[in-house]
Amino acid sequence: MTITQFIRQRKVAVAKELLIACESSTIEISELLSFSSQSYFIKTFKDLTGTTPQYFREHFFDQHLHL
């Protein structure tokens, strides 16, 4: 794993926590985590999780209720 891959994974992990814990928009989260743009944040999030940040936020609790 390269340092860039590690940083991307950590940023997405923090983004997941923020999506669950607060009402910040995806643009606010992308800026907070120093992504170059909201679209790059969404693309990176989807590449690493298989879902968009908005879908993750809307369905997180549903997914955990069915575990």
Dihedral angle sign, alpha carbons of residues 59, 61, 5, 32? positive
pLDDT beyond 60 at 67:
no
User: The whole model's pTM is what?
Assistant: 0.86
pLDDT tens-digit readout, 42-62: 999 999 999 999 999 988 876
Instruction: List, in order, residues 6 or more apart from 11 with CB less than 8 Å away.
Output: 33, 34, 35, 44
Question: How high is the pLDDT of residue 65?
Answer: 47
* Structure tokens, 37: 């743009």
Average pLDDT over residues 25-47: 97
